[in-house]
Chains A and B, each alone.
Chain A
Amino acid sequence: MELLSEKGLPTSRSEEYRFTPVVRNLEGIFSGAPAPAAPITASLDLIPGISANLLVFVNGRYSPNHSKVIDNSLTVKTAATPAPKADQDPFDLLNQAFADELIEIQVPDHQQLVHPVAIVYYIDHSQFVFANPRWSLRLGTGSRCTVLEYTVASSAASFFNNKQSTIEVRENARLDYILIQRGSRDEVMVNNTAVWLSSSAQALCYTCTLEGKLVRNNLSLILDGEGIDAHLHGLYLVTGQSLVDNHSVVDHRKPNSFSNELYKGVMDDNGKAVFNGKIFVRTDAQKTNAFQSNRNILLSENSNIHTKPQLEIWADDVKCSHGCTTGQLDEEALFYLRSRGIPKDAAKGLLLTAFAGETLEGIHDEAIRGFVESLILEKLHTAHLQ
């Protein structure tokens, strides 16, 4: 807390939070103390028909009673939070000031988990909740694991979920990490996730943001090995008064790795989005291939997008590119569909679905992919984006 008060929480004057006034959104509702846990009535399963290892945080605190581990090889332990360091993100420090435990999740070497690990944030909606969940995940050498992360809250819930997590993917391990953000319309979410990848590791990180008053995702991938294959996909459908801010870092520290980043967004109403994608290629990271693409569609007069794709390259034998576009739905395509008898709204819906659908490529599990797709369709429907 001392470090934090020294540093202060970021304001719109700081470069990294230029468009995202997290602090302003918290003023007046900030109560500080974690709310008491209440009995859970809602279903915590995300995907019907898929059973998962359930790890439940109730109002930010891990609840073994509500959790359920079904794969024997998966271990979940409670540990003390590590000592804070000065170079941490302010929200990480804030989390540390409130979180008194770190949940350590481990997949042993060479184990391939049969079921996904679902990390669920259950929010009690009777009062404003300031949640500070904190966990770490380690995928041992050659292991494989799918992680689903989501929030369960009633649509009236008002809360600030300040989540901090680290994921370590050892040699030859494979991580599928799917983060679905559709907690509630009044949700403020700050999400710090750092993923450390060792040689020959494979990772897909998919961030799908469908709801929330203010969502800030800080996702960092540190490629600290050779022959790594990393994919970061993201989709943000921003409506109402929402602000969604994705800050990503892909840090190539060793040679011969590959990363591909694809983030897409559709903004409607007064929706506002920020994308900041940094790619670092360090001096040692020769023969790196790093690609990034950010595509945005603005649908309404008052929607906004601020994007800053950033390449910082210190090695010469590399192939890196980024592309970024902002525009509207393709009028030509829209006309083509209409000329085949498809009504305008349906045609728009089709095109938006196709636009959003590209981000789903790479999710291996068909059931999960199908489910995420259905969430996207539902959002496109309910938000009258069609």
Chain B
Amino acid sequence: MAKDDHIIQEITTKEYEHGWVANLESESAPKGLSEEIVRFISQRKSEPEWLLEWRLKAYRHWLTMEEPKWPNVTYPAINYQDIIYYSAPKKKASPKSLDEIDPELLKTFEKLGISLTEQKRLTGIAVDAVLDSVSVATTFKEKLGELGIIFCSFSEAVHEHPDLVKKYLGSVVPATDNYFAALNSAVFSDGSFCYIPAGVRCPMELSTYFRINAANTGQFERTLIVAEEGSYVSYLEGCTAPMRDENQLHAAVVEIYAMKNAEVKYSTVQNWYPGNKEGVGGIYNFVTKRGLCAGDHSKISWTQVETGSAITWKYPSCVLKGDYSVGEFYSVAVTNNFQQADTGTKMIHLGKHTKSRIVSKGISAGKSQNSYRGQVHIHKRAVNARNFSQCDSLLLGDKCGAHTFPYIDVENDSARVEHEATTSKIGEDQIFYCQQRGIDEEAAVALIVNGYAKEVLNQLPMEFAVEAQKLLALTLEGSVG
């Protein structure tokens, strides 16, 4: 097995390719968290009084809460006073057009492979780019505007569409929902806002790219998507961060509100810096994502490919309130080196004839720990609810762990709930078969893993799927036989 050890070592030498720091001047709040900081952020963003109050309420509640201890992850205590809660690229005034954006900043996003220059975008994806905590540019705004679609930074929405923000902010994830959501509610600095009017099918993918750049900075963005009756939108989220020795905190909140017959597809390719091969540095990714299928026949579908972060703590959930509403969760989570992931979903069935489907594929390598944690809760009045869950784990190497914690609570006798889970190592026979056809071990592992994850990757929009496949291959480079 010496060969395996050698290969496992090889994986750990893989470098994180987005680990550069952009040379941007930024303006930051002082370190630490207090009511003053919350006020500072709110004032800096010229927010209305109600929003400040909302933040302060969240902050005061956060003070009474305890950090959750139940996830299957370990990390040193976070010093919440040692974090900068607000950092913005320095600029004169809000850019009126892309021409006014700091060229250094444009370069930052070009480096990430995200062009903010509209004419260069042929793929027809509207992008909202968030650097550190602030949205820096949103593309295709006018074109979307013609359809009545609002896609802009959160700050902008607060000023331009205060009624919508006030109505839906916290309607799915209340400010006091959990420790990290409360923290986010107090200090969130920006994010994306998206509103699809009734009957409109959004003609292009909407996309947000998040990047943490400044040191010692937490990123606390907030995304709010409202899909009116009969509308449809596909939303993409991507993220990267520079390599730093210290851990950085990312505590985001995503809320989706879907009315009658509306459909929202939310896809994430998460590639935050996972820390180095000794487990130093990396992002703590503590995220609350929840969608509410408020109306009948609504549908919310989460797809995630999780390859980054030192620690991932994330359960994109669906509250199926409307009758005949549908929730889906497709996930591939890869952990390597010292990464820890505790991720899964919650499907809360409240309405009649609600359906949910969970497909989770965990892949652990190196010395990582990968946990699926999910809940399927069929409430008493959820007549004829259906759920199917498939949770598979693949182990590469003998120093990693795979854990499955499904909670299934059924309170209605007409429900049908099925859960299946398997854990196995990558098939030596399969690798040998590939090798016998001339494919080397590394390529064979990538091929097999991609095949294993295919059901999930198929859910991603084309361009994202290709990126995700490459990312999987890269993360597991040189994996074991």
Contacts and interface: CB of A to CB of B under 8 A. Distances in A.
Interface of A: 15, 281, 283, 286, 296, 298-301, 303-328
Given A311-B421, A320-B422, A321-B421, 5 more contacts: A304-B409, A313-B401, A313-B403, A323-B420, A324-B420
B402 A311 contact: yes
A305 B399 CA distance: 36
Contacts of A311: 393, 402-404, 421, 423
Contacts of B412: 298, 301
A318 B425 contact: yes
A313 B70 contact: no
The size class of the interface chain B forms with chain A is 20 to 34
Contacts of A310: 403-406
8 contacts: A305-B408, A309-B419, A313-B402, A318-B395, A324-B406, A326-B408, A327-B416, A328-B413
B407 interface: yes
Among A281, A304, A324, A326, the one with the most B-chain Cβ atoms within 10 Å of its Cβ is A326
A286 B397 CA distance: 11
Closest 4 CB pairs of A and B: A298-B413, A316-B395, A311-B404, A324-B419
A305 B411 CA distance: 7
B386 to A, nearest CB: 10
B106 interface: no
Given A326-B415, A326-B416, A304 B410 contact: yes
Given A299-B413, A313-B402, A316-B397, A324 B423 contact: no
B401 A327 contact: no
A202 B423 CA distance: 24
Contact of B424 (A305, A320, A325): A320
Given A283-B398, A299-B413, A327-B416, A307 B408 contact: yes
Given A321-B421, A327-B415, A316 B403 contact: no
A321 B403 CA distance: 11
Q: Which of B393, B416, B421 has the most CB of A within 10 A?
A: B421
Contacts of B405: 308, 310
B403 A312 contact: yes
Contact of B413 (A301, A312, A320): A301
A50 B416 CA distance: 42
B402 A324 contact: no
Contacts of B423: 281, 311, 313, 318-321
Contact of A323 (B402, B410, B421): B421
Given A309-B421, A316-B395, A324 B414 contact: no
Interface of A is mostly: strand
A327 B388 CA distance: 12
B417 interface: yes
B406 A309 contact: yes
Nearest to B408: A307
B421 A322 contact: yes
A308 B407 contact: yes
Contact of A312 (B401, B408, B415): B401
Contacts of B410: 296, 298, 304-307, 326
A94 to B, nearest CB: 26
Contacts of A315: 395, 398
B262 interface: no
A298 B402 contact: no
Contacts of B399: 283
Contacts of A304: 409-411
Contacts of A306: 407-410
B70 A326 contact: no
Contact of B398 (A286, A298, A303, A323): A286
B417 A326 contact: yes
Given A309-B421, A318-B425, A321-B421, A303 B413 contact: yes
**B402, B407, B413, most chain A CB atoms within 10 A:** B413
A295 to B, nearest CB: 10
B320 to A, nearest CB: 17
B352 to A, nearest CB: 14
B362 to A, nearest CB: 10
Interface string B239-260: 0000000000000000000000
A93 to B, nearest CB: 23
A317 B393 CA distance: 12
B418 interface: yes
Contacts of B404: 309-312, 322
A324 B418 contact: yes
Contact of A316 (B396, B406, B413): B396
Contacts of A300: 413
Contacts of B395: 313, 315-316, 318
Nearest to B370: A313
Contacts of B402: 311, 313
A322 B372 CA distance: 13
Contacts of A281: 423
B398 A316 contact: yes
A246 to B, nearest CB: 14
Contacts of A296: 410
Nearest to A325: B418
A315 B413 CA distance: 38
B400 interface: yes
Contacts of B419: 309, 322-325
A363 B226 CA distance: 58
B354 to A, nearest CB: 15
A53 to B, nearest CB: 41
B398 A317 contact: yes
Nearest to B365: A316
A328 B423 CA distance: 28
A305 to B, nearest CB: 5
A296 B376 CA distance: 15
A328 B414 contact: yes
A327 B416 CA distance: 4
A298 B408 contact: no
B420 A316 contact: no
Nearest to A275: B408
B403 A328 contact: no
Contacts of B415: 298, 326-327
Nearest to B407: A308
A308 B406 contact: yes
Interface in B403-454: 403-425
Nearest to A306: B409
A328 B404 CA distance: 25
Nearest to B386: A327
Contacts of A299: 413
Nearest to A283: B398
Contact of A313 (B393, B414, B416): B393
A314 B408 CA distance: 24
Contacts of B70: 15
A308 B408 CA distance: 6
Contacts of A15: 70
Contacts of B413: 298-301, 303, 328
Contacts of A305: 408-410
Nearest to A298: B413
A310 B407 CA distance: 9
A322 B407 CA distance: 13
Nearest to B394: A316
Contacts of B400: 314, 316
B343 to A, nearest CB: 15
Given A310-B404, A312-B403, A321 B398 contact: no
Nearest to B421: A322
Contacts of B411: 304
A313 B369 CA distance: 9
A317 B425 contact: yes
Contacts of B403: 310-313
Given A15-B70, A328-B416, A316 B421 contact: no
